[in-house]
Amino acid sequence: MKTQLIISIKIFAVLTVLCGIIYPLFITGVAQFVFPAKANGSLIVQGNKVIGSELIGQKFDSEIYFWSRPSATDYNTLPSGGSNLGPTSSKLKQMLADRSAQFARINQLSDSETIPSEMLMASASGLDPHISPEAAMLQVGRIVKARQFNEQQRQQLEKIITDQTEAPQFSFLGETRINVLKLNLALDRLNNQSTNAKNL
């Protein structure tokens, strides 16, 4: 009995060191060597300052920026998740109607224009960093007006949307999408270029 207990303790100790220390350190080392950016959270750095991650959505509600997908947790990473409201929920129906009305009003859309579903419904995680190119295009008019862009700048902005659009992963997984944070950073660069050009 005593011998079996000692053997069990030894096996437990060996497996703890092997699976709890050596294996995690090995996998971490491989990840840091093969794809360090992804292993460290796909962080976006600007001016030696981390301003976000490509994988986590942020809240944008200013008229001068592209809006992100709604979040049931207000983009809080700790209690991330969906609303858990079902299709028969009157609260969900009212929420979708309110979001649709607000999006159409702020972007001055006509009744005939269809608002993409991701601008009305939150994702399961509440942290989705992407919207569709169609959703981005519907916001161009508002941003052009808010930033007082001319026609040439509008065309440049539409080209940025096209350039920033990501194809489905491996050409068949997911949908065509665009990262809102990266899009807004490109938008700020366009704005700064235009401002610098005016000051020359």
Residues 34 and 107 in one domain: no
Q: How confident is the model at residue 196 (pLDDT cuts 50, 70, 90)?
A: low
Number of separate domains in the chain: 2
Query: 109-134: b or e for each residue (b if 16 or more CB lie within 10 Å)?
Result: beeeeebbebbbbbbebbbbbbbbbb
Residues 14 and 101 in one domain: no
| Average pLDDT for 69-83 | 87
| Average pLDDT for 145-167 | 95
Percent helix, strand, coil in the chain, to 5, is 50, 10, 40
Q: Report how far residue 105's alpha carbon sits from residue 102's, in angstroms, rounded to the nearest whole number.
A: 5
What pLDDT digit, counting tens, does each position of 108-135 carry?
999 889 999 999 998 888 899 999 999 9
Q: In the predicted model, is pLDDT for residue 57 greater than 80?
A: yes
Q: Which residue has the higher pLDDT, 85 or 163?
A: 163
Residues 11 and 63 in one domain: no
The residue assigned the tokens 């920026």 is 65
Q: How confident is the model at residue 173 (pLDDT cuts 50, 70, 90)?
A: confident
Domain coverage including residue 147:
42-199
Q: Which residue has the higher pLDDT, 145 or 75?
A: 145
How many residues belong to the chain? 200
Residues 165 and 193 in one domain: yes
Residues 30 and 55 in one domain: no
What residues contact residue 83 under an 8 Å CB cut-off, 6+ apart? 72, 92, 95, 122
Residues 93 and 82 in one domain: yes
| Average pLDDT for 130-156 | 96
pTM: 0.82
Bridge-based pairing of strands 178-179 and 43-46 is unpaired
- Identity of the residue numbered 125: S
Residues 8 and 80 in one domain: no
Strand intervals (E) in 26-176: 43-46, 49-53, 130-131
Q: Report how far residue 131's alpha carbon sits from residue 123's, in angstroms, rounded to the nearest whole number.
A: 11
Residues 15 and 103 in one domain: no
Q: In the predicted model, is pLDDT for residue 168 greater than 60?
A: yes
Highest mean pLDDT among 2-11, 93-102, 169-178, 190-199: 93-102
